[in-house]
Amino acid sequence: MSTTATWLDLPADSPYGVHNLPYGVFTAADRPGRRRIGVRIGDLVLDAGAAARAVGAPSALLDAESLNPLMASGRSTWRAVRAALTSWLTDEAHRDTVGPCLLPLADVRLHLPFEVADYVDFYASEHHATNLGKIFRPGQEPLTPNWKHLPIGYHGRAGTVVVSGTPVARPHGQRKAPAEAAPSFGPSLRLDIEAEVAFVVGTPSGLGHPVALDGFAEHVFGVCLLNDWSARDLQAWEYVPLGPFLGKSFATSVAPWVVPLEALEHARVEPPARDVEPLPYLDDRKAEPWGLDLAMEVSLNGHPVSRPPFAGMYWTAAQQLAHLTVNGANLRTGDLYGSGTVSGPEPKQRGSLIELSWNGTRPLELPDGTSRTFLEDGDEVSITATAPGPGGLRVGFGEVTGRITG
């Protein structure tokens, strides 16, 4: 399988070659107040609006301060813009005009790449849901009766979605251990992560018009990494009967790069076999597969602590979108939905500390000689991922990182 050559001097195996071209939003020193759309290529960022103007192409969608106008423009435009970007970065004739529009990644500041409309978080890893069931309801059936019939999800707080690198202040709130008579108030003592993959809606849909499984690629613009920071003690006390609220709403971090769905054709895999027959609107056995073979890595203070495999998720993003809209709820450009914590079957594949430390009973020993159950002030967590691309290349997702402040 051949891949497209670029006139840039890139390592042949870069996960940010022209087969990827993730979108972000940046500012740079020459115009610090102006957010611009950037496309990552190697360790450079293409100022996409400037490049469009330089080659005399239509630039309005690329000259915006967020990805929303491009995201709203629909799949055929996404394809055309991606083809244009590919041409600019591969056709030697564009070298002199486009070259000056490249900036070193190290010289730019990356921002939240899109305006979040609604944020939904799912719960689609059977291993994660089973682990949490065993931890919280020992001796009982770990999965709730609905789990294999529908992709369980809930709405989170869109206004606290922040870009990678934003410090995360340890939240305060109410917590009550089972043995305590009354709740107390203070900083969370069980601050955790949830390593997730998130999907960003581009094309809106109408109220009352569900998006079927085969509409996924028409509506979803791209994919980014997400860390759903979670205060387990706040969550445990508050979540019955209406679900997580303050235990989740203080911060949700996303990576600065949105990988176009089109860059993930080689990452598509069959989802795992389901042991419960899905209702027709969720039945993807005859549909195009939307399992995605992302290899994720979670690092704590620079030490890899987990490698969650995304391919094994029980529910796919296409099923999640079909479920989310089956009641007639419409989609807006900027709707963001997370997969839920990605955990694999092995202990070193778990995407949260509550699983990795088994509810704090088995501290993680780090190579620096320290150990962790939950996060301490100053801790930094980074999540990265790659997926198969063409010709043996990998597609990189950048990273989502955040440091805990006290």
343 close to 127: Cβ distance less than 8 angstroms: yes
301 close to 379: Cβ distance less than 8 angstroms: yes
Determine the Cα–Cα distance for residues 166 and 352; give it in Å rounded to an integer.
20
Determine the Cα–Cα distance for residues 402 and 248; give it in Å rounded to an integer.
15
Determine the Cα–Cα distance for residues 46 and 388; give it in Å rounded to an integer.
23
Residue list 279-308, contact with a copy of itself (CB under 8 A) = 279-281
For residues 117 and 217, which CB has a smaller minimum distance to a copy of itself in the complex?
117
Single residue of 15, 42, 49, 171 touching a copy of itself by CB under 8 A: 171
Determine the Cα–Cα distance for residues 4 and 158; give it in Å rounded to an integer.
37
Residue list 177-196, contact with a copy of itself (CB under 8 A) = 182-185
341 marked among binding-site residues: yes
Q: From residue 83 to residue 122, what is the string marking binding to a copy of itself with x (rule CB under 8 A)?
A: ----------------------------------xx----
235 marked among binding-site residues: yes
Single residue of 160, 299, 301, 370 touching a copy of itself by CB under 8 A: 160
404 close to 192: Cβ distance less than 8 angstroms: no
The region of 56-64, 153-161, 289-297, 359-367 touching a copy of itself under the rule CB under 8 A is 153-161
Q: What's the token pair of residue 311?
A: 């391919």
Single residue of 17, 173, 256, 338 touching a copy of itself by CB under 8 A: 173
For residues 6 and 205, which CB has a smaller minimum distance to a copy of itself in the complex?
205
Determine the Cα–Cα distance for residues 374 and 184; give it in Å rounded to an integer.
19
Determine the Cα–Cα distance for residues 289 and 285; give it in Å rounded to an integer.
8
Q: Is 128 annotated in the active site?
A: yes
Q: How many residues does the chain have?
A: 406
Residue 139 Cα distances to 143, 266, 346, 361, angstroms: 12, 41, 21, 17
Does residue 397 touch a copy of itself according to CB under 8 A? no
For residues 47 and 228, which CB has a smaller minimum distance to a copy of itself in the complex?
228
Q: What's the token pair of residue 397?
A: 């997702």
Active-site residues, by number, are 128
Binding residues for Ca(2+): 121, 194, 196, 228
- Give me the residues that bind a copy of itself (CB under 8 A), please: 117-118, 123, 144, 146, 149-150, 152-160, 162, 169, 171-174, 176, 182-185, 207-208, 210, 231, 234, 237-247, 249-251, 279-281, 323-324, 326-332, 335
